Structures are given as C-alpha cells and as structure tokens.
Chain A
Amino acid sequence: MRKTRLLVAFLFLGVDWSAVAWGASQDWLAQVSGKERVRPNPIAHCEDQVAAGAILYRRNCASCHGHDAHGIGKRPALATERVHYASDGELHWLLTNGQLGQGMPSWSRLPDIQRWQLVCYLHSLSHRDAAGQGVLVGPR
C-alpha cells in the first residue's frame, strides 16, 4: 500500500516533467534534415492557395502569432525575414513536428495538404526588417 502511494505521489507531484522532454533545441532550422529541407511543395500554384492558407492561419495560428503574424507577447512573429527565406520544406517540417520543447505545438493533426497551404500563406507574408521598421520585402 505504501509503495502504491509513493508511486502515485511520484507520478503526479514529483516528476520533473521538463526532464522527460529531452532533446529540445532552440534552433529549429538546425534540426531539419537535408532531405526535408529541399522537399518540394506538392501544390503546383502556391499563389492560388494563399486564401485557403489564410483561413487555416486564422483558425489555427492567429491566437498565438497574431492576426497580422507579428506575434503576441512571447509568441514569435512569423512575418519575419527568417520565415520569409525559409524553404517550403523547412516550414512544412516545423508545422509537422512543432518545437515542443519551446512551446510550438505539432500541427500534424492538420492533413498534410493543409500544412502545405499554410506554407504558401506564410511565404506570402510581407516581413519587417530586424529593427521592426516597416516592410522590407513583399510577398515572395
């Protein structure tokens, strides 16, 4: 009986959950394999899917990253140079795997084609320069 109680206490109170989530790395780009990095977007005409991607963004992403993709609080902006110049494969990898150790959930619950539509939308965003001073580059 005492052993069982100790087990329960361990499970619910004593576990250092962060120790369970090993392998977290700050830089998601460094985690993307070469194969995933060059993976092509199966959507032939990405510009036609921006509207669909925008709807998916509003439903799934805007509550954290903001309706304008400029971030909210600690949640990062997506209208950035880094996202703008990331390859389709890199963004798709991030949406699929998330960055669980850093707070970005996996969006594998969305069908694969919807993640590619989101990639189309993210690449359509204008982004601000490093100092946040206005638009530097328009949709690519």
Chain B
Amino acid sequence: MFLGLLVLCVMATTNAPTQELPYFVTYSHHMEEPGSLEVESKTASGHPAGGDRFVANAFELEYGTRAWWTSELYLEGQHTANDSTVFTGFRVENRIRPLLREHWVNPVLYFEFEDINAANKSLLEVVGHDVGSDLTVSNAAGRADKAREVELKLILSSNTRGWNFSENIIAEKNLGHAAWEFGYALGASRPLRLAGGSHSGGFAPENFALGAELYGGLGDRNSFGLAQTSHYFGPSMNWSGPDGWTVTASPNFGLNGNSLPQIYRIGVSYEVGQISRFFNSSRHGGNR
C-alpha cells in the first residue's frame, strides 16, 4: 500500500537530480529542496571480530518541509550470517537552518528521536563507547534490548573553492536514565570538475564527487574522550546521474582496536522533485 502510493507519486512527479555530497555519516548544511522527496537506501556491511558478517540497511525518506527545514524518516533492519534478518527500529529527524543566508560557516540544528534496539547495525553514527564487539550480540538478544533515544547535532558546514567541509558534533541521550553520549563526524568533498559542460553526459566529471569522512565516539558525560570507543576513516565517491539517481560508495577503516576492521557502505538514492505538487493537485481535483 505504502510502496504503491510512493510509486504513484514518483510517476506523477518529476525527477530532480541534484548534486549530492558523498557522505554517509556526516551532515552538511545543504537541505532537501522544499516539496521534494529523496528516497535512499544506505547499506553497511562488516565483519566484527568474534562475530558473524552482517549487512544492515537504513531505508530513508527525506522531505523538504521548507527551504530551511528538512524532515527524515529512517526504517532500519539487518541480516546477520548464521543468525536472522530483523527489523531494528526507526528514526525521525528534523534539521533546521537558523541563519537564512550563506555564511563562511553555516550552522544547522539537528533533532532526532530514535526507537531502535541493540540489534541495530546501521552505523549511522558512533557515539559514547560504541565498539565493534557490540555488534557480536545475537539478534534475539539485541532485539530484546530496546532503546528510545534523542539525538542532537550541531552541524557546521562551509563551501569554499568547490570544496565542502562539514563538521558534526553529536550528543545522544537514552530516555531511560543514562548519561549523555557524544560523538563527532567530519567530512570533506569536491566534484571532479567544477564547471558544468555544454554537452554533459551522465558520466561527465562534474557528476562525480570525491570525499572522505572521519567519525567516531567521544565517550559520555562521565568519561569524555577519544579512548574506549571506536573511530573510522574512509574515502568516498558518488555519481549523480541526470535522471535523479545518485550512487555513493565508501570503504571505512577502523582506526583502533575497538573499531570494526572495515565497513563497506553503499547508498542508492532517487530524488523525486516537487512531490508536494502531486498531493496539492490531488486535493484540488486534478493537475494544474
């Protein structure tokens, strides 16, 4: 039913390809265009020491509520070898730009509510004392350990000479009685070519972007710092096709013994331009 409605919306609206940044964990100040919907699948795969290989997926719907306000819904699940495939929870997030003009550094405020369980392996952020061995818990045990959390981020982002530099500071709180946990994410990226070509095909250099991400935990309120948590670094690359598709890939490498050795990430997204027009025209009895 839901997917059917989504397909109908896609058919009734236009695709709106835009250049996306090749980040999986880091947020920039670029918001979803108002009235547009981005549908994305983010997959992370890894093999923790002493555990089984897993493939986790976060299915994301990102909507431009206003030009300065973007809302997102994530539905997440994972499959672990020699275990099972499970739904691991959802997240609802909102990002707002409090400053309405472009500045040297552009702040964005991020608010998230998540209802996930300990079987979640999407690795959309690392906070507190998250370590690779957390991912060796069986799916049955992980599903029994549910958490409702709020997450706040301060996103700082700059564009200069074709580069984007983004820095995220993360604070997460389990709504049960637990200490605030902290994390960070840094990203930098640049298109392969800055100028648009006059005969640009889908594989023109300006449709590709290269970047890198560094992210990890910062402990919690009682033990703040870089120790006893995990950190990752990885190059990333994406291709934004002319018909609304973007494919992003990134291998991430653990930087200390608490991290997974590698995480392989791939993201596929489709931008549906002005999906709000579909609902407006339906409400007014036809297309305008």
In the complex with contacts A4-B173, A55-B197, A113-B194, A103-B66 CB distance below 8 A: yes
A54 to chain B: closest residue by CB: B198
Contact of A52 among B159, B197, B274 (CB under 8 A): B197
Pairs A–B under 8 Å by Cβ, sample size 21? A1-B175, A4-B173, A12-B94, A17-B96, A22-B100, A49-B198, A53-B196, A59-B17, A59-B242, A63-B14, A64-B273, A72-B274, A97-B101, A100-B97, A100-B100, A103-B34, A105-B67, A108-B102, A111-B162, A111-B195, A112-B162
- Encoded as 1 (CB less than 8 Å from any A CB) or 0, chain B from 84 to 114 comes to 0000000010101110111000000001010
> A7-B150, A59-B18 known; A101 and B68 CB under 8 Å?
yes
Cα(A122)–Cα(B175), bound, Å:
51
By a CB distance below 8 angstroms, the chain A residues around B206 are 111, 114
Q: Which residues 205-225 in B have Cβ within 8 Å of A in the complex?
A: 206
Q: Does B16 lie at the interface of the complex (its beta carbon under 8 Å from any beta carbon of A)?
A: yes
Q: How far is the CA of A48 from the CA of B198 in the complex (A)?
A: 9
State in angstroms the CA–CA spacing of A101 and B113 once bound together: 26
Give the residues from 29 to 77 in chain B that come closer than 8 angstroms, CB to CB, to chain A: 30-31, 33-36, 64-69
Please state if B94 and A52 are interface contacts (CB–CB under 8 Å).
Answer: no
Q: Which secondary structure dominates chain B's binding surface?
A: loop
Say which residue of B33, B68, B195 sits within 8 Å of A21 (CB atoms). B68
A73 within 8 A of partner (CB):
yes
In the assembled complex, A130 has its CB within 8 A of some CB on chain B: no
B258 at the interface (CB under 8 A from A): no
Interface: A38 (CB within 8 A): no
Query: Whole-angstrom distance from the CB of A22 to the nearest CB of chain B?
Result: 8
Q: Which residue of B lies closest to A49 (CB)?
A: B198
- B200, A109: Cβ atoms under 8 Å? no
The contact string, 1 if C-beta is below 8 Å from chain B, for chain A 49-66, is: 101110110011011100
B21 sits at the interface (CB 8 A): yes
- On A, residues with C-beta under 8 Å from B are 1, 4-5, 7-8, 11-12, 17, 20-24, 48-49, 51-53, 55-56, 59-60, 62-64, 72-73, 75, 96-106, 108-114, 117
Q: Does B288 contact A (CB under 8 A)?
A: yes
- Assuming the contacts A4-B173, A56-B196, asked whether A108 and B159 have C-beta atoms less than 8 A apart, the reply is yes
| CB–CB B36/A21 < 8 A | no
B residues in contact with A51, CB < 8 Å? 198-199
Contacts of B14 in A (CB 8 A): 62-63
Report B's interface with A, CB cutoff 8 A. Answer: 14-19, 21, 28, 30-31, 33-36, 64-69, 92, 94, 96-98, 100-102, 111, 113, 150, 159, 161-162, 164, 173, 175, 177, 191, 194-200, 206, 242, 273-274, 277, 280, 288
Q: Check B196–A108 contact: CB distance below 8 A.
A: no
Docked pose: A51 CA to B68 CA in angstroms: 30
Whole-angstrom distance between the Cβ of B274 and the nearest chain A Cβ = 5
Partner of B280, one of A24, A73, A103, A106: A73
The 9 closest A-B pairs by CB, nearest first: A63-B273, A51-B198, A63-B16, A111-B194, A100-B68, A100-B67, A52-B196, A100-B100, A52-B198
Which B residue sits closest to A53, measured CB to CB?
B196
Q: How far is the CA of A111 from the CA of B68 in the complex (A)?
A: 20
- Bound complex: CA of A98 vs CA of B273, how far in Å? 17
Q: Please give, as numbers and ranges, the residues of chain B lying within 8 Å of A112 by CB-CB distance.
A: 161-162, 194
Q: Is B18 touching A114 in the complex (CB atoms < 8 A)?
A: no
Task: Report the minimum CB–CB distance from B269 to chain A (whole Å).
Answer: 14
Beyond contacts A11-B111, A98-B67, A100-B68: 12 other A-B pairs, Cβ-Cβ < 8 A, are A11-B113, A21-B69, A21-B100, A49-B198, A52-B198, A63-B33, A64-B273, A96-B102, A100-B97, A106-B30, A109-B21, A113-B195
Find A114's partner among B66, B67, B196 (CB 8 Å cutoff). B196
Complex CA gap A111/B205 in Å reads 13
* Min CB gap B33→A, angstroms: 5
Query: Which residues of the other chain, A, contact B94 by a CB distance below 8 angstroms?
Result: 11-12
